[in-house]
Each structure stands twice: as C-alpha cells, then as structure tokens.
Amino acid sequence: MPMLSFLRVAAAVPELRVADCRFNAERTLDLLRDAEERGVRVAVFPECGLTGYTCHDLFHQPTLLRSAENALETLLSAADMCFSGVGIVGLPLSLDGMVFNCAAVFRGGKLLGIVPKTYLPNYKEFYDARYFAPARNALSHTMTLAGQTVPFGTDLLFECDTSPGFVLGVEICEDVWMPVAPSAIQAVNGATVLANLSASNEAIGKAAYRRQLVAGQSGRCVAGYIYASSGVGESTTDIVFGGHAMIAENGSILSESPRFQRTGQLLVADLDLQHIERDRHVGTTFNESHSEPGLKRSFRRVRFSIPNAERPDVLARTTDAHPFVPSDPATLRERCEEIFHTQVAGLAKRLEHIGKPNVSIGVSGGLDSTLALLVLCKTLDAIGAPRAKILALTMPGFGTTRRTKGNAQSLMALLGTTARETDIREMCMQQMRALGHSPFGISLVGETGESLGEKLRMLPAERRHDLVFENVQARMRTSLLMNSGFTIGTGDLSELALGWCTYNADHMSMYNPNVSIPKTLVKFLVRWAAENEFDGDVRATLLDVVDTEISPELLPTAADGSIAQSTEATIGPYELHDFFLYHFLRWVSPPDKIFYLAKQAKFDRAWTPAEIQKWLRMFVTRFFSSQFKRSCLPDGPKVGSVSLSPRGDWRMPSDAAALAWLESVDHIQEIF
C-alpha cells in the first residue's frame, strides 16, 4: 500500500580509512544494504566519502583519483543488487584538467548525475581551493564515468516519476553556509528534498550552530534536508570529525545522530512530502521568489524511478499525540507563559483603545471561563485599572453542580472582582412559557425552577435531550452579560471547530482571549497560571478546576448533585479532536492519513480503531456543519499556527459539502 506522502530517507556515516577507497566502498555498501532492509529511498553519504576528506595533496595523485573511480564502479555494480533507492556519495573527480569535489547521484547501477561543490572554503583549517576547482570553472556539462556519460554541473535537479512531489537537489558542505546557498536556488526552482554531503569538523559550539543551520535552511527552503558529515575515521592531524548527521523538515529537526561513534551509522527518518507541498501552497511569498533575479535558473531535470515503498507499520518520525502541548516540561512552561502574556497583551490593547470600560465575564467554574478570568485580571493589572471594574457573574442553572458553583464563587471573591450570582432558572422558565415549550414533555404550568429541576433529575438518561431547553439557558446567560458591560468571551478553539457552542450565546462576545487556544492546552494554561502567577487559596481553587470534568452543565445534575452531562461522552475525546484539528488544518491531511497518524501516535492503545474512526467522522461532520458559527466570530488574538478566524487563517463557505471527506472516513477500514 502507498506510504501516504512519506519518503524514507537516511543520512549515512560509514566507517572510513583515509585514502583506502576499497575499504570505504565496502563500508558504504554495508550501509546501503542496511538502508534497503529499512525501506530507505534516499541515502546520503559524507563529502569525499570514498576517499576521505582529509587526503589533502593526495587529491592530486592519479593513483587516488583512479582508486576513487574504481570504488565508485564497484559501488554501482553492487548497488544494482542491494539498494533500490537513490544513493549520493562523495568523491574527487578529474575533468577539464581540474579536480572537482563532487557528489555522485545514482540509482542502482546507473549514474544520474555529478554535482560539483560550488563554494570552496580556504581559511583557517580549510584548504579546499588548494586541491579543488570551484564548480563555476568547469567547461563541460557532461562527463564519462564508470563507462557512462552523465550530466555534470550545479544545474541538476533529480525528479522522481514514481513518488509525486519528490525532487532532489544536492549541495556540498560549505555551500549551505553561504548567504545564498545552492540549496536555496534549487528549492526555488522546485527541489523538495535537499541533500548535503559534508565534512564539518568539531569545535566547541559548532554542533549547535550546525543544528540551527540545517533546521533553518530546511525552514527557509520549505523542504526536507538530509545532512551527512564525515566521521571519526578522518585524519586527526589537526582536527577531529564527529560524524554529525541530521534530517530536518520545514524548520524542524526530525532526527539527529550521536557524534563520535566508532561504527557506521544510518540515521533514518520519514519526510512528509505533503507537509512541504502544503506550506509552499499556503506560503505565497515563497513562490514569489521565482521572479527574483538570480534565483530563477534554468535547471536540467534528470528523471528516475524508484519502487513504491510499502506503508510502514511504524513511521521513522515522531507523531505527537498532543501537538498543541509540548511534552518537554520546560518547553511547556515557556509556551504557556508566552501564550498567557499574548492573551493579556491583546486584551489590554482592546480595553485601552475603548477607554478602559467596565467589563463583564461569565464564570462557571469550568476551565475556559477560569482561564479568561485570569487573563482579564492580569490585563487590568497591566493597564492600571482596578479589578473591581470586572463584573464577574456566575449564573447557576439546571445543571450547575455544587463543585463548579463553589469554585466560581471562590475565584470571584479571591481575585477581587465585583462578583454577582444570578440564578437563571426562573428567567429561563419565563422564556420557555412564552415560547409554549414543554421541556422533556413536562408542562411548565405551576412549576418553579426548583421543582422543574427536581422532576428533571428523575428522568432516565435517554430522555435528557432538549435543544431548546439548553439553548434558552445559554442565551439567557449571554443576554445578562451583554447588558452588563464590555463582554469577555471564554470559548476555545476546539469548541469552535466542533460547533460545541450555542449560536449568539457562548459563541458571541466583544473580545475573546481564548479564541485560538485548543481545549487540551487550556488545562495546562490554567495549571501554569496556578503554579506561576497565583498562590494560596487561588492556586488551590485553580488546581481543583483543572481536575473537574468538562461539561456545559445545561442538563440537570444527577441525584447526588454531580455532573450528568459529559461533553466528551457526547462529542468525543478532546484529546482526539485536537489531534484531528491540528492535522486537518495545519497540514491539510486527508482523513485516511489522519487515522494512520492517530495510530502512529498510539491512540489505538486507548481507543479501538473503530472508535477512532467514529470520532473522526464526528469531527468531520461537525466541522463542516458548524462553519456558520465561525463566520461571525468576535475578535481575539491568534497564539499558534492553527486559528479559525474568518478574517485570518480560515475562510470556508458555510454550506460546503463534507461528502468527499466522509467517504474517505468510511473507507478507512478498507484501506487499513
């Protein structure tokens, strides 16, 4: 089966003996065999890997040059049987009366092309210009090597016919350290995967700089980047090499080797060509570079084919089950601090612009309203306004529990807001009477909110569904808030994606600091605020809020007063929905790929494949049917790479058909 846009690549660092080309070819073949067993389609080796980079004046010896060519012939002959992907090895080659530092690109026994090094370092410990000629000095555009006439030059791109979106560009070591690297020009002209054959020695701090360089180049080029550097077998006369290998994609390091290993290494990762395509489609400024003088070049396209790989059971890349929540505690703390202060900055600007008015906010004792209240308090502190200007309303209804009500009351008092409690049950009864509505078939004649609540608690669970009953409560709360002051919204990104909000009720506000924060992150933000921004009783209350089950509390409580309406039992786990949302919006992944990635993230340990498929169908259905709610969202700050603002990241017709996506969901079991 197809790999769903993944391309398995490798950065290889074989054992090496300086100037022993036969040995080096054998060790290269060892890693090619290993690469074949692991399903690798592209294997990149170090600079001058067939001779060693530290041969120095031996590069002008005909014996070494001839040995290098013989080693390449041996490699090609054997590779035809042991490796079905594309290999790239480094060696010195004589052409036009000059010696060039080259990368030989091959598929099986066929040479696809030879790419010479563009920039030759000639400073400090580097003397490349003593041994080699720069690419620009070449007179020929082809050369005969291993009995084959092949293209020669820096104007080569290698395009795969059997793996859509895979176009390979090659550069050598110093090339990527330049202000305008050859890989940048290659990417502008269509290369999606970039290979660098390197010989970068070790020095204090240099590995960190290389890491930044490779990650940054993959980000600027919107490409995959495979970097393989010479290992400890190189000469140590003056310098030491560590065999640093890295694979990056769109600005992130996917995999990195340990350095100073004394055995051969094969660093493997799966590039996602769809990620590259998506960011190039969306990032229009990248494509504008096509018209920049000097960047748009005439490249020769060398076409080749490789066998289609089977979809692996386990990807050679990390699939984060919680893409919005960093797994590293230090990174998570930093992320939460940045988001919280972004929320405060956005709200502060809005309140200052309109004259620091009185503000109103609904406080339910749940996660979302708690986070918004904390942001609001810190915002008023920042703009020098008293917290008493906050009218914090808790509005208990038919489903409010003692726990959430108690937490709401505690927070409002402890944070120094102007607190008010308004029981909305009688007001909702009046509205339902005016509508002639009998919730759950119960007549409202002679009933009070208290007595109705008692009757509703006695109903069996299967009868507890009445949309009007729920919507009246939600809209009553919003009406009170809107009439009380400048209203701060509390709904989050996940609820907007699923349409889990009442139109013109909790869906609406005058500014919403939570609007682009997913539910899985809201919990960590509240916990971070408890541990870093507040203390004492406030901290204790916040931690209890974090531990409270998520519920809209619109249906009557259970007999013991506990929550009877679980959000996640109704619409599915937010853990899954946030995962679906991230891959659907950030990477435009189709449903079958999202399902595959969910299994890679180990969700199938908590839910069966059928359950994951069920909730994915729920996500797609609700996402498409709820766009009308997102088309009129109030203002709020974008804090991450995923947002549903109709003015910014997401513009979608409210009546778009979901049929194609749902059909993809329904066929998942057939595919997998």
Catalytic residues: 47, 117, 173
CA distance 325 to 148: 53
CA 620, 624, 626, 627 dihedral sign is positive
State the number of CA atoms in the 13 A half-sphere of 298 facing the CB. 0
Q: For the chain, give percent helix, strand, coil, nearest 5.
A: 45, 15, 40
Confirm if 474 and 467 have CB atoms less than 8 A apart. Answer: no
CA distance 392 to 413: 9
Maximum Cα–Cα distance across the chain: 107
CA distance 610 to 595: 10
DSSP states of 309-329 as a string? PPPPSS-SS---S-TTS-SSH
With residue 434 as reference, give the H or E element that holds it: helix 425-435
The single-letter DSSP state of residue 640 is S
Confirm if 201 and 94 have CB atoms less than 8 A apart. Answer: no
Residues whose CB is less than 8 angstroms from the CB of residue 380 and which lie 6 or more positions away in sequence, other chains included: 351, 386, 387, 389, 390
Q: How far is CA 59 from CA 18, 48, 63, 66, 404, in A?
A: 11, 10, 9, 10, 77
Q: Mapping DSSP to helix (H, G, I), strand (E, B) and coil, where does residue 85 land?
A: coil
**244: closest CA among 25, 86, 255, 37?**
255
β-sheet bridge partners, residue 270: 8
Crossing angle of helices 467-482 and 425-435, rounded to 10°: 120
The single-letter DSSP state of residue 365 is S
